[in-house]
Structure 1
């Protein structure tokens, strides 16, 4: 199995939850090839573990400006794919 490079760009999230985000994302990337499916998997897992409502954007080219709950935001890369994950009710 290939070791994936992870780079956290910005986070307002406890370190243990950041680690869970990375683990779930790696699993999603191993299971799916379509970015929409990767995002859906990450979102559903976070809704399950950390209660709704999480939002996830996955891709190589996107801009964003979001409002999020305290301690519920992470923006990171796995290889060359960006993941934006945040909670907002």
Structure 2
């Protein structure tokens, strides 16, 4: 993923985590990140947020990022 897209992903996730409560509204966080990336970089983006998950994906590294914000891990990738 380009450095600009990486910055956008981190900024977008930060905004989502500030806007919604991770404990009670994780669905809104996921949807916020996904929809922002779908708008900016065209569909179809997928997002996983959590403290402990083990993904098994074969990503296109140009459209994939996994990072931590605090205790939350965010995986964002594009299919199709």
Alignment TM-score, normalising by the size of structure 1: 0.81
Q: Which has the higher strand share?
A: 1
Match of 1:55 in 2: 46
Query: Are the equivalent residues in 2 in contact too, given 1:67–1:88 (CA < 8 A)?
Result: no
The SS at the match of 2:4 is helix
Q: Aligned-pair RMSD on alpha carbons?
A: 1.0
Structure 2 residue ranges without an equivalent (≥5): none
CA distance in 1, matches of 2:27, 2:48: 8
Q: Which has the higher helix share?
A: 2
Q: CA deviation at 1:69?
A: 3.2
The SS at the match of 1:71 is helix
Q: Deviations over 1:28-78 (max 9, x none)?
A: 001111222111100000000000000000011211011333400000000
Query: Are the equivalent residues in 2 in contact too, given 1:36–1:58 (CA < 8 A)?
Result: no
Query: Are the equivalent residues in 2 in contact too, given 1:74–1:86 (CA < 8 A)?
Result: yes
1:69 to 40, 60, 64: 60
Match of 1:79 in 2: 70
Match of 2:13 in 1: 25
Q: How many residues align?
A: 77
Q: CA deviation at 1:18?
A: 0.1
